Amino acid sequence: MQFAITEHSAELPLLPILPVKLSSLIRFAWWCQWANVKGGMNSIRNYVSAVVEFGLSYGFADPRLQEPWVYQKFRREAGKFIEVYEGKKAKMALTHEILQPLMKMLDLKSRAAAQQAASYAILMFTGIRRGHLIPKSYTEAGMKHLIRWKSIKFIPDFDNAEQILFELETGKVRHAAKKDPWWTAVGKSPVDYMCPVLLTKLWYALSYNGDNERYVLADNAENRPPQCATWTTQLRANIAAVAQQAGVSEDDFNVKDWSGISFRKFSLSALARHVQPQLLAAHGEHGSVEITNKYYVTQTVAQRAEHTGLIAKGFKL
């Protein structure tokens, strides 16, 4: 229990170790960055969970639930102030050049391929986070943001669908208790084998069993979609199969550069060329336009160089 050796005081005592208090847990979490935990909040949360599970094994309550809003505030905001961080290389955005041959390669007569195609199409055109379709784990926390068939509406109806409405009750920046659902929608794409409407309809026809509570990508009696690790492994295999065709150099190719977030990065980066930042922020369910501007409103060297002419317009020739 490493956090027992952090600073102890009468105001915020660390002893006895059990039961773990919320204040001690947060102090331990913050201390981790100086104790060789260099992966930022993602790594720190693993250590926090280990401490909590240790207490639970002795019959003590989860300290994060003592005042849930306090811990959630720390969990969301602390990462902005981390002083010691050696993060992993950021995942790359997928591209039109990779996605088109990848989607064309999938044999939609195969149930597994139809499931993959539906997940890829929904993610690339909605820009929703991977966790709304594919769970990281089968725990309650891992599956809490998954969407169900009841959250999808075919417009005007299933047979004649031109659009699909997705309603998400919870998300990274929203909580179900706030009753603040977020929605997005997709329309038909001119390329059938990439069309989110046609591919979602195909998957619905193959997998829907009449239960609206069923998770969208579930395909078994246990109502479980593919787990993230399995789904990502297959995604990377598919990318590897088309990489050369997509013009990716063998010297530069590393299949681990892509994961579920690569679809979201593709969706927002592709859309950024065509809409204003506030619409892009709404599409991406960002908490603020500042986030959108920082990561997705970008320019090429040539585009930025064009600013010279705009600035020089006031000069007389």
Rounded Cα gap, residues 97 and 163, in angstroms? 25
Averaged pLDDT score across all residues of the chain: 85
How many other C-beta atoms can be found within 10 angstroms of the C-beta atom of residue 270?
A: 18
Instruction: Determine the pLDDT at residue 109.
Output: 95
pTM exceeds cut of 0.95: no
How many other C-beta atoms can be found within 10 angstroms of the C-beta atom of residue 217?
A: 22
Q: Which amino acid is at 172?
A: K
| pLDDT tier for residue 4 given thresholds of 50, 70 and 90 | very low
User: Comparing C-alpha atoms, which of 243, 261, 128 is closest to residue 196?
Assistant: 128
Contact 226, 134 (CB under 8 A): yes
φ, ψ at 276 (rounded to 5°):
-70, 155
* Per-residue tokens: 83: 């002083």
**Domains in the chain, ordered, with CATH?**
2-81 (no CATH), 96-261 (1.10.443)
Contact 151, 169 (CB under 8 A): yes
Rounded Cα gap, residues 158 and 153, in angstroms? 8
Q: What is the pLDDT of residues 142-194, one digit of tens each?
A: 898 999 999 999 999 999 999 999 999 876 665 555 566 789 999 999 899 99
Instruction: Determine the pLDDT at residue 104.
Output: 96
| pLDDT tier for residue 202 given thresholds of 50, 70 and 90 | very high
Instruction: Determine the pLDDT at residue 80.
Output: 80
Contact 28, 3 (CB under 8 A): yes
